[in-house]
Structures are given as C-alpha cells and as structure tokens.
Structure 1
Amino acid sequence: MLKAVGQALFSTGLQNPKFTPGEGKGQDYEVRTYHTTKWVSTTLSGLQLDTALNTGFRRLFNYIQGNNQDKVKVEMTAPVTCMVDPGAGPACETTFTVSFYLPEEHQANPPLPSGSDVFMENRKEFTVYVRTYGGFSNEQMKREELLKLVESLQRDGAAFKDKPYYTAGYDSPFKLTNRRNEVWLFKKEEE
C-alpha cells in the first residue's frame, strides 16, 4: 500500500505505454503512434472535466488497490488519460473516459474489474498530435493548450480530428515542480 501511494504521489519511474515517434514534428508539438495496449477505464457524463477526472481517478485507484476480481494490486502507471467527447451543443453533457495504462505484467491477462463502473479497454494502435506543457493543469489550461495545438496544426496544414480529444497527466497532485501535462488530437488518416 505504501509503495503504491508513494508511486502515485511522486510518479517517477512509472511504466508508460510504448509509442513510436512520428515524422513531421512541429516546433511546438510532436507526433506519436501508440502501440496496441490494454487500459482500465471508467466513463462519466457531465459538464466539468476536472470533476470527472477526480471521480474517475478514485474509481480506477480503487481498482489498482485490489478492488478487482483477482484481488490483485496493480502498479500505478502514467499517464492518466481522459478522452473528452463533447456533447452536440453548448450546454450538452460531455462524455469523459478516464483511463490508467495497465503495466506490462498485466497486459496479457489483466485482473477483471469487480464493479460495473470500471471496464477493460483494448486500444488499437493510434496516432496523435501531442502538445506538452507544465504546471498544475486545470480545465481552463487544458482548453487553452488544446486551442494552441489546433492553431499549430492548422498553421502546418496537418490533418486532425477536433473531437474526441485526450488530456494526459503524468504527475501526482503532490509533485510541485517539473510537472508534465499533455493534450492529444487524433491524426486524420488520408482517405
């Protein structure tokens, strides 16, 4: 328990999903192709990204602490991602899918969730444009960084999908310096 809390608090040396750096990196973003991997996820609906992230994080943290069918503790990983799928109108609910990457030792045979609000997600290989930024991120910063990424991609003539998009956080709330946050937009495949 202490090790897991320590890892969650200081988030250094955590396993990350593997990716291949892509061609055509802009000066203020990079291109990554993430390999096919399994994630443990939970989905929430609402209007507030930060609220959904907090609730989702708690559900998934319970899962990795052994609240799963095998009663197995799972190592903390990074990043914590949140796929944001905005509703159709300005006051429509957004769907948020908060996810933890499953460590290598659980990729082949992950412990199944015991509750209906947590599920296994098999992410097929995908390519995203990534903008990295520091500091303590909040909903407004995420939105601003996403807009900066959109402007950069438009400037470079890159084909991307504007939704859904991902936010990714690599650090615990207790890490005070050198924080790492990201926003991801899917690359649009040529048709």
Structure 2
Amino acid sequence: MDRESCSINNGEGNLRHGPGLGFITLEDFDSLTDENVESDMTRSEVFNGGTEIAEDENEDRLLNHWQNIGRGHQINVPREMAQPIQLLTNSPNREQIPFTLVARKEHGDGVLCEKRVIEKACWACITVMEDTYEKSICAGFMSIMRYICQQNTLGRYLGMTVPIVTIVRTDDALSNLSRDVQLAYFLPSHLQDHPPLPTDPEITLETWPTMVLHSRAFTGPTNEDTILHEIRAFAEILASPNLPVSNTFVLAGYTSIAATHRHNEVWFLERQ
C-alpha cells in the first residue's frame, strides 16, 4: 500500500516521527454523525433546479470533512479514501462480533469487567510496523478500510463489523508498546464460510481459534499513553494466579451512529 496515505505532517511539509501524535481510527467516524457535522452538511447542500447534488459531490464533501479531521490529527487523508469513507459513513448496519458472556464483575453503578468467549471465526488481518505506533495503526486501518469497501475478490462493500481489533505487545514492565501491530476485521456472518480474498497481498485471512477473554471498557481517545494506562489498570484488577497477564493484548474500537462517547475496550486473552 501507499504509506504516504498515512503521512503525519507538521503543517510545514515535514514528516514528524515523534511519539504521542494523534491518528485516525475507526472510532473517529463518530464525528461524522454528530449533530454539528450533520448541520454543516445540510447547510452546504446545493440544489440545481430542485435536484439534489450528485453523489460524487456528496462524496467530496465527506472527504473534505475527513481531511479536516486528519489535519487535526496531523495526518494526510488521500483522495483515494473518498469511496471507503462514503461507504463506511453511510452504512446503516454494523454487525457486532458475537460472543457469549460468561461472567460480569460490577463495581458501583457500572460494569468493571466481563469474561467472554468468542467462537472460532475468520478474520482479515494485516501486520504493520512503522517507525511509530500511531503510524502503524494508521497504515493498517487504511488497508483494512480498502478491503472492506472494494479491494476484494467480490469487488463490493462487504459490510461493517465492530469492533475492529488491534493486537498490541508491550515490554514485561507494561511501559512501552511495540512498533509492530496487527489489525483485524471480523468477517460478517454471511461471509464466514466463504470469505472473499483481499487484493492487497499484505492482508491475510486467518481462522482464529475460540478465545476466552477478559474485557474492560473505557471511553476517550486511544493513543500510546492511554492504551498503556488502561492495560496497567486492568492488569491490577485481574491480578490473580489464575489469570496470567502476558505482554500481548487486544484493543477493541467501536463506532455507533448513536454513540455520544467513543467506546473502546481492552481485552486480556486467557492462555489455552
């Protein structure tokens, strides 16, 4: 893929590679459904003889808005992402990855964590290693978007499932994230038995075995600092000889058109 699609720019034409920079992920699509954005889109509607603007003009407006978001994250969003953005933004249905709830631990008025089982299933995966964690996430996410929207052997939009998950690795002290990350997309249920092949050779289809996991939700942005903070906080909650904490974790990112806050989860996988 074209790695320039995920360039992090400092506004002066130079690439920045320092830690702590923002990045675009699936959860940023929440902003496209906020009332402010809808209001802006409505005000910019153009009618010609009573006919609404053409679909490609609407696509351009979405792309322009997304590029504005990208500039806020110091990331360039290329024109080739216009169609994926249009498809994902206007998708009415988002299938949630099915799981079985085994146990729930509550604290106060909320859920502290859950134990779940996700059955064996097919996932589309890509492993990326850029010079920063943020750039790795951006590169992988752009590739997954293209696969979902058209770059597959069916040549069509496959349908959105949530969450999009990212496998991250830390050092033993849980103080640093590895630069290599794996992003994974759960194939919709109607495609599980016959998943379309990706045209991007860097994306692979993998059958993941049944997973037993412990999940803890959090809201807000996901960057290297917040992810490490959430991993360490969850490790303290799960401190038990029966719940080994390794250096491999899963970050799950959700998007909902009705969500008022970003919904993320950290998953700890039980060793099988």
Q: TM-score, normalised by structure 1?
A: 0.83
State which drifts further: 92-101 or 3-12: 3-12
Unaligned runs of 5+ in 1: none
Q: Distance in 2 between matches of 1:115 and 1:37?
A: 21
Q: Distance in 1 between matches of 2:201 and 2:177?
A: 24
Q: Which has the higher contact order (CA 8 A, sep 6+)?
A: 1
User: For residues 87 and 113 of structure 1, do their structure 2 counterparts lie closer, same or farther at Cα, with a shift above 3 Å needed?
Assistant: farther
* Superposed counterparts of 1:28-177, under 5 Å: 28-46=112-130, 48-86=132-170, 93-154=178-239, 158-171=242-255, 177=260
State which drifts further: 105-114 or 132-141: 132-141
Identity score, percent: 22
Q: 2:103 aligns with which of 20, 23, 31?
A: 23
User: For residues 159 and 176 of structure 1, do their structure 2 counterparts lie closer, same or farther at Cα, with a shift above 3 Å needed?
Assistant: closer
Which letter does structure 1 place at the counterpart of 2:98? K
| Displacement after TM superposition at 1:24 (Å) | 5.9
User: For residues 46 and 88 of structure 1, do their structure 2 counterparts lie closer, same or farther at Cα, with a shift above 3 Å needed?
Assistant: farther
User: For residues 86 and 151 of structure 1, do their structure 2 counterparts lie closer, same or farther at Cα, with a shift above 3 Å needed?
Assistant: closer
Q: Distance in 1 between matches of 2:246 and 2:90?
A: 32
2:217–2:263 Cα contact (<8 Å) kept: yes
Aligned residues: 187
| CA distances 1:79-130 after superposition (whole Å, capped 9, x unpaired) | 1100113478988954311011111111110110112111112111111111
| CA distances 1:39-65 after superposition (whole Å, capped 9, x unpaired) | 111101245332212111100111111
| CA distances 1:113-172 after superposition (whole Å, capped 9, x unpaired) | 112111112111111111101122222111111111000001x55413322111110028
1:79–1:169 Cα contact (<8 Å) kept: yes
Q: 2:261 aligns with which of 175, 178, 187?
A: 178
State which drifts further: 7-16 or 45-54: 7-16
1:11–1:78 Cα contact (<8 Å) kept: no
User: For residues 5 and 187 of structure 1, do their structure 2 counterparts lie closer, same or farther at Cα, with a shift above 3 Å needed?
Assistant: same
1:167–1:183 Cα contact (<8 Å) kept: yes
Number of the residue aligned with 2:28: none
User: For residues 135 and 24 of structure 1, do their structure 2 counterparts lie closer, same or farther at Cα, with a shift above 3 Å needed?
Assistant: closer
Q: TM-score, normalised by structure 2?
A: 0.60
1:40–1:118 Cα contact (<8 Å) kept: yes
| Displacement after TM superposition at 1:176 (Å) | 7.4
User: For residues 74 and 167 of structure 1, do their structure 2 counterparts lie closer, same or farther at Cα, with a shift above 3 Å needed?
Assistant: same
Which letter does structure 1 place at the counterpart of 2:139? T
Decide which structure has greater strand share. 1
Which letter does structure 1 place at the counterpart of 2:216? R
Unaligned runs of 5+ in 2: 1-54, 60-82
RMSD, matched Cα: 3.1
Q: Distance in 1 between matches of 2:88 and 2:249?
A: 24
